Structure 1
């Protein structure tokens, strides 16, 4: 392991669990990368402010690992919106960030503010007593079966899914003045995030478009680990 290489902080979406990253993390470690995968699944039970609490949980995972020196944040899906807050808590050690099929930062706006109208109405309609069902229940019944065909792996993935308070989706993302917007890369895995990848490219980020799917980091970890390593090398050298 290169002692000068950055630690990779792999942040999962609040809607899923750390298993989403753990198999890819194992491949990255075998390639000599230092990797930390925080678990954010219980954070919402602490109440608002959610973004700050997610960021603090991610930073604690770094501290518990004993990681020192440069850090590259890597966020998947909904974790993309969290990365500026994570960078703010972790501080000057953050060297850059990689967004993997992820939302782009939206400081000052909530998830509901930025979501397409149809998706926003769909999600709001699922709420019961201020909570949303687990993420796989948002989808048609066969979608997750297709994305994660291995039954055992799919059951482990589902077991980690939290129910989410609607208040999380209503909370504006905080401003993060120290956010390293010039040291970012974007990895698009699915067509659903083509627009985000295009916007990242317009902002001058390094962008890689992989012909995969949204959960490829769970089902094709060796392949995605290779792509992540390339993206990290780009932002670490900037």
Structure 2
């Protein structure tokens, strides 16, 4: 059975994928959650990047000869060349909130409290996620990620939670990828992991 690698955004930690990983494990899958920047030795996995992990997934897919990639409410890199790790307007905002050591506040402190609270199913889940949130350097937000030429022609699908990544969703459709859209927040895999797990596997089947 194809191994599955759930890729969490560098801005958060593996807890964001934990409920889906548990369900895949219970279904008999070889599943791991990892930072997309970390080494991975498994060959021909299914990659499932969320959020900012999407920028790193094409390079990892090429190195591991992935059988497919299901992007989940994720950023997509440019078709050629490099892509900023965050949009220019967000990078400008983050320059104003970095501390004297050049470290950024945790991701959950970038947005209004009511918006952040709405992403989580309960306070305990939020606390567990926030316990893992790293303080990345401003240099990461000012960096760029290279994607291999031709990556868009590999087997890819897209699962969107609402309209946060509407442009990416539209682009996936234009590229002819399988696409599904749920009503939900950016961390919907924590809110309804059963539905998200089913959708990931359904989209993966369409890439086979």
- TM score, norm. by length of structure 1: 0.79
1:34-58 CA-to-partner distances (Å, cap 9, x unmatched) read: 21112x3xxxxxxxxxxxxx43x14
Query: Is residue 85 of structure 1 aligned with residue 59 of structure 2?
Result: yes
Which structure is higher in helix share?
A: 1
1:123 equivalenced with 2:94 (yes/no)? yes
CA distance in structure 2 between the aligned counterparts of 1:149 and 1:36, rounded to whole angstroms: 23
Task: Please give the alpha-carbon distance, in whole angstroms, between the structure 2 residues aligned to 1:198 and 1:178.
Answer: 19
1:171 Cα deviation after fit: 2.0
Q: CA offsets, 1:99-140, max 9 Å, x none?
A: 00000023413224xx163x3332222222322110001011
Return the alpha-carbon distance in structure 2 between the equivalents of residues 212 and 34 of structure 1.
Answer: 27
- Equivalent in 186, 205, 208 of residue 233 of structure 1: 205
Residue by residue over 1:84-111, the C-alpha shift from the partner in whole angstroms, topping out at 9 and shown as x without a partner, is 2212332x3x111110000002341322
**Structure-2 residue corresponding to 1:157:** 129
SS of equivalent residue, structure 2 residue 200: helix
Would you say how many aligned residue pairs link Structure 1 and Structure 2?
205
| 2:19 is the counterpart of 1:23 | yes
Q: CA deviation at 1:33?
A: 2.5
- Determine which of 191, 212, 221 is the counterpart of 2:193: 221
Change (3 A) 1:180 1:104: closer
Distance 1:23 1:225, change over 3 A: same
Gaps of 5+ in 2: none
Gaps of 5+ in 1: 41-53
Partner of residue 142, structure 1: 114
- TM-score under structure 2 length normalisation: 0.90
Out of 1, 4, 7, which is 1:8 matched to? 4
